[in-house]
């Protein structure tokens, strides 16, 4: 395994362009764009304030940089480095900014979630959407980029509005059967919208594009409920992670549970393979190295790590959550299906895994962790 030299970055703002050609990083108020293969700087931009959020457009031609403290958004072009765009929300403030699927519109959410402002880079037109709800995931686009679902809060009730992204006109508006809507997500085939309640109530609802309630599912009552939701790429399975440290898989025909997976601290399954990260520091003897080598060769003191197979049964290190603190680290906080629908990777809140995602090939799972990793596989059965 080879490593490149270390580059500076701020606020973990480091993203690869959707076409895989460029790597963008933010260092305070500077935006650095590098060629992904050579890691040479191809563009260098200077923003008006330290960048808090950075995002590529879908066609990899533009980069959005948001500065929430000043209510500013700057957009930079890779094809025309001299061209740039500045959006100033003024006194109304700014809490989030994102691209639309076409890469030519920017959606800004103002402070206190008063409204969502849609800015067009082509026509300079501005559209306003009122009553957006502040929740875990209140906005989602269909995979084809044609529709946008927005969670709203009006008169102490939850509503969902579906907009057409071409001209941002309202297509459907209906009330959601949730007490306090926490998030929504379209299925990859753009036919079903999954909506789930906050953690105080275990409830997930499935709506069609025209607002019809197809089904609802609840695993238990009187305990913390849903923490994460993920669709399989084929839209045949819906994975629901909850605070009871279990993952439940629903099928797309009856929307009933077909199986569930637990996260035991001790792995005794003979078919499982557990890898553990082992760090090794080279032992350097003073009699073997000269002062010049100790000064110049910094790699002698670098920590090297590798993964070794652990014998079963294996004890997975966990962190016991503190019940006296808010938002305890417990439950399934992340879910990721492989591209071929055969495997499901999950992150339990008590494990020391920061994030996980599948490689585009579907055969490699990337986990970001400081010390330990945890793998969970699920082979999806083909429906007859």
Is the per-residue pLDDT at 241 higher than 80? yes
Residue 307: what pLDDT?
A: 67
Q: Which two tokens stand for residue 62?
A: 């533009």
275: phi then psi, degrees, rounded to nearest 5: -105, 140
- Four-point Cα dihedral 220, 226, 227, 229, nearest 10: 130
Position 302 confidence tier, pLDDT thresholds 50, 70, 90: low
pLDDT at 25: 92
Whether 36 shows a pLDDT value over 80: the answer reads: yes
Q: Report the pLDDT averaged over residues 60-66.
A: 97
Mean pLDDT to the nearest integer, 38-45: 93
State the pTM of this model.
0.79
Q: Which residue has the higher pLDDT, 306 or 33?
A: 33
Please give the helix or strand (H or E) that residue 296 lies within, else none.
helix 291-296
Residues carrying CATH 2.130.10.10, the chain: 9-130, 136-262
DSSP structural state of residue 328: -
Mean pLDDT of the chain: 83
Q: Measuring CA to CA, which residue among 248, 194, 242 is closest to residue 378?
A: 248
Burial code (b: 16+ CB inside 10 Å, e: under 16) for 156-184 equals eebbbbbbebeebeeebeeebebeebbbb
What's the CATH superfamily of 136-262?
YVTN repeat-like/Quinoprotein amine dehydrogenase (2.130.10.10)
Q: Which two tokens stand for residue 325?
A: 């603190």
Dihedral (CA of 180, 186, 190, 191) sign: negative
Task: Give the residue-averaged pLDDT of 318-322.
Answer: 70
- The domain defined by 9-130 folds into Methylamine Dehydrogenase; Chain H (2.130.10)
What percent of the chain clears pLDDT 70, i.e. is strictly above it?
79
Is the CA virtual torsion 199, 201, 206, 209 positive or negative? negative
């Amino acid at each position: 395994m080879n490593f490149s030299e270390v580059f500076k970055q701020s606020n973990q703002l480091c993203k690869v362009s959707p076409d895989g050609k460029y790597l963008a990083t933010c260092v305070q108020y500077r935006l650095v764009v590098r060629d992904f293969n050579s890691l040479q700087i191809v563009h260098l931009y200077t923003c008006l304030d330290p960048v808090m959020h950075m995002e590529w457009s879908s066609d990899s031609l533009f980069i959005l940089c948001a500065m929430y403290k000043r209510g500013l958004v700057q957009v930079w072009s890779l094809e025309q480095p001299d061209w740039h765009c500045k959006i100033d929300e003024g006194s109304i403030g700014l809490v989030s900014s994102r691209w639309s699927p076409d890469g030519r519109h920017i959606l800004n959410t103002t402070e206190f979630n008063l409204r969502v402002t849609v800015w067009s880079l082509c026509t300079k037109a501005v559209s306003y959407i009122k009553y957006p709800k502040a929740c875990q995931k209140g906005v989602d686009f269909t995979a084809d980029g044609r529709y946008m679902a927005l969670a709203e809060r009006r008169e102490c009730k939850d509503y969902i509005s579906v907009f057409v992204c071409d001209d941002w006109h309202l297509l459907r508006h209906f009330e959601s059967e949730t007490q306090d809507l926490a998030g929504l997500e379209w299925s990859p085939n753009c036919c079903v919208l999954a909506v789930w309640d906050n953690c105080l109530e275990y409830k997930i609802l499935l709506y069609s594009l025209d607002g019809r309630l197809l089904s609802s599912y609840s695993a238990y009552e009187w305990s913390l409920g849903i923490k994460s939701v993920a669709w399989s790429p084929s839209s045949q399975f819906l994975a629901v992670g909850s605070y009871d440290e279990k993952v439940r898989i629903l099928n797309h025909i009856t929307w009933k549970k077909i199986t569930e997976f637990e996260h035991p601290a001790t792995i005794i399954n003979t078919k499982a393979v557990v890898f553990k990260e082992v760090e090794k520091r080279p032992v350097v003897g003073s009699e073997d190295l000269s002062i010049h080598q100790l000064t110049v060769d910094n790699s002698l003191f670098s920590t090297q790590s590798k993964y070794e197979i652990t014998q079963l049964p294996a004890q997975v290190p966990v962190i016991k959550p503190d019940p006296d603190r808010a938002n305890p680290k417990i439950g399934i906080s992340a879910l990721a299906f492989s591209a071929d629908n055969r495997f499901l990777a999950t992150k339990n809140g008590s494990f020391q895994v920061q994030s996980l995602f599948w490689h585009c090939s579907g055969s490699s799972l990337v986990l970001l962790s400081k010390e330990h990793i945890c793998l969970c596989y699920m082979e999806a059965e083909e429906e007859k």
